[in-house]
Amino acid sequence: MKIVFFGAGNMASAIFTGMIEKGIVKADDIYITSKTNRVAAMEFKESLGVNVSYDDAELCADADYIVLASKPQNFKDVAKRIRPYLEEKTKLISVMAGIQILTIQEELGKGNSVARIMPNTNAMVQYSVNGIAFSDGFDNKDELIDLMASFGKNVVVGEDGMDNITAATGSGPAFLYYIYEQYAKSLEELGFSKEDAEQLTRNLVIGTGKTLSERPESFEKLRTDITSKAGTTEAGLNTLSEFKLREMITDTLGSARDRSKKLSER
């Protein structure tokens, strides 16, 4: 199998690292190319054994999948590189937020099968959430679904579901990391050193994540099991509940969703 990544940045590297580390593809099956970070691309060659090339004819020749992993605003430039060499058998996999399947097919002009996927950088530890939407006539979907299952949990949605999944789980990790940053800064306010505050927060998040991965209880049950009557947690939650946290998160997700819709405009 030959999988070619046009783009070797944060998202592409999380995906191919996850695929290789899971053993679903061999490093030699992966070809990467980029534009702005050639040094990083060479570092992936050294560290993972992937192929690096800037010869578009070589890259596209006999490719089973081409992964479009540039920023949306660079897609037209990427399309210019691919269009002359794109073979009929090659399936296009786009991770570009907001770029519609029709836009990709029109830009590349050859009617190739296209799948839009919305992963996240948890792919690097094989725990992404992958929204997937297929173009009409995309055959052998299971092969791609199995490929993607190597680095995350798949959610097959219609293309109209991609804006929401982009906000919820594509951008989602950044929203949680922002909350963790603020939590660590609050620990410094309590008097912990910056280093201790960050390590305590990191271990707290890993611990709750590990609990969620190994225990079936709901978020609410896990929370109430901590909340002793008239205790410290109850006092803290009473203060927390005075803030409009859910509205804040809803507005945050709405802005990300709306940006995805804006990027979809043709």
Ligand X SMILES: NC(=O)C1=CN([C@@H]2O[C@H](COP(=O)(O)OP(=O)(O)OC[C@H]3O[C@@H](n4cnc5c(N)ncnc54)[C@H](O)[C@@H]3O)[C@@H](O)[C@H]2O)C=CC1
Site for ligand X contains 7 (CB under 6 A): yes
- Binding test (CB under 6 A) with ligand X, winner from 3, 4, 11, 162: 11
Residue 55 main-chain phi, psi, to 5 deg: -95, 100
Judged by CB under 6 A, the chain residues 198 through 237 that form the site for ligand A1CAB are none
Min separation Cβ 232 and ligand X, Å = 36
* Spatial separation of the C-alpha atoms in residues 3 and 62, rounded to whole Å: 10
Q: Which is nearer to ligand X, 17 or 197 (CB)?
A: 17
Contact residues for 78 (Cβ-Cβ < 8 A; gap 6+): 6, 7, 68, 70
Q: Which is nearer to ligand X, 39 or 230 (CB)?
A: 39
Token representation of residue 153: 């949990």
- Binding test (CB under 6 A) with ligand X, winner from 22, 24, 35, 183: 35
Residue, CB closest to ligand X: 9
Token representation of residue 266: 């043709």
Which alpha helices (H) appear in the chain, and where do they start and end? Answer: 10-22, 38-48, 56-60, 75-82, 101-108, 141-149, 162-165, 172-190, 194-214, 219-224, 232-240, 245-264
Site for ligand A1CAB contains 131 (CB under 6 A): no
Judged by CB under 6 A, the chain residues 162 through 191 that form the site for ligand A1CAB are 166, 170-171
Q: Identify what 15 binds: ligand A1CAB, ligand X, none; CB under 5 to 8 Å per kind.
A: none
Residue 264 CA, distance from chain mean position? 18
Judged by CB under 6 A, the chain residues 92 through 151 that form the site for ligand X are 95-97, 118-121
- Torsion over CA of 201, 207, 212 and 218, rounded to 10 degrees? -70
Q: How far is CA 19 from CA 24, 67, 126, in A?
A: 6, 13, 8
Q: Identify what 128 binds: ligand A1CAB, ligand X, none; CB under 5 to 8 Å per kind.
A: none
Site for ligand A1CAB contains 97 (CB under 6 A): yes
Residues that bind ligand X in the complex, under the rule CB under 6 A: 6-12, 33-37, 69-72, 74, 77-78, 81, 95-97, 118-121, 170
